[in-house]
Amino acid sequence: MTHWRLCPGYDTPALREAFGSLDAVFARQGERITSDPLSEVLRVTVDGTRYYVKRYHRAAKNPLRRWIGRPRIQAEWENLLAFRAWGIRTANITGYGLERRLGAFARGAMITEEVAGSIDLARIAASRDPRLRERSWLMPVVRQVAEATRTMHAHRFVHNDLKWRNLLVVDGAPPLVYLIDCPGGETWRGAMLRRRMIKDLACLDKVGRQALSRTWRLRFFLAYRGQDRLTAAEKPVLRQILAYFEGRE
């Protein structure tokens, strides 16, 4: 059984020819961006617009996921659709779907439109971009990342790979932040939710402590918590974030 769809606004003749079926998507050639034993990402240009084609050949690292649970590619498109429903900016999904044979996952794909003019925060940090020292640029970026993270967590959802490389910024007045690549995101409850929320925040701070001053890192935390100043109630959470990766690397 094969399920494939082009999203509203993308069912055009050129895109139907390029991405009209799962067979067409897997036959498509393009610039290889990444590859691993599970998946590959190609960059393809159609009618002057660039698209990222993510193709999965396996459901997940665990072979049981071929039959049980949600394949990673399905998690990818469902999580991005959830972000959009929650008001979190993300790349526009062009098409998605998967194929099962005798009930087992065989292959799947998702296509997203390029976020034109964007650069990920990890590259900005690695290049020591002067914008990281400009309040007028950094303040809206910090607030948007904090708001997106708070929104996810308010829905009991954790990203599980909330790193600077998965945050795109498009320059403007103000700059706009987009959250991408979330195959491992899930909803949780109770103690596991709290622990994984701490992990999301610690992942952000892993690069943050190298690229930002302590003042800006505190501003991010306060924006995430919806507080104007650090109180006694916030201090234990902050200590957990700072200590999360101790002894792990």
Tens of pLDDT, residues 11-60: 899 999 999 999 999 999 999 999 888 899 999 999 999 999 999 987 66
Q: 248 lies in a domain?
A: no
Tokens of 175: 């700059």
Q: Stretch 130-143: mean pLDDT, rounded?
A: 96
Structural domain that includes position 31:
2-113
Identify whether residues 157 and 193 lie together within a single domain.
Answer: yes
Burial 75-113 (b: 16+ CB within 10 A, else e): bbbbbbebbeeeebbbbbbbbbbbbbeeeebbbbbbbbb
pTM value? 0.92
Identify whether residues 216 and 190 lie together within a single domain.
Answer: yes
- In the chain, the largest separation of any two C-alpha atoms, in whole Å, equals 59
Number of folded domains in the chain? 2
State the angle between helix axes of 135-154 and 214-225 in degrees (0 to 180), rounded to the nearest 10. Answer: 40
Span 140-189, pLDDT tens digits:
999 999 999 999 999 999 999 999 999 999 999 999 999 999 999 999 99
What's the mean pLDDT when you consider all of the chain? 92
- DSSP assignment, residue 164? G
Q: 127 lies in a domain?
A: yes
Which residues are bridge partners to 4 per DSSP? 97
Residue 248 pLDDT exceeds 80: no
Identify whether residues 239 and 159 lie together within a single domain.
Answer: yes
d(CA 106, CA 118): 33
Identify whether residues 52 and 104 lie together within a single domain.
Answer: yes
Residue 6 pLDDT exceeds 90: yes
**3-class state of residue 52 by DSSP:** strand
Identify whether residues 129 and 237 lie together within a single domain.
Answer: yes
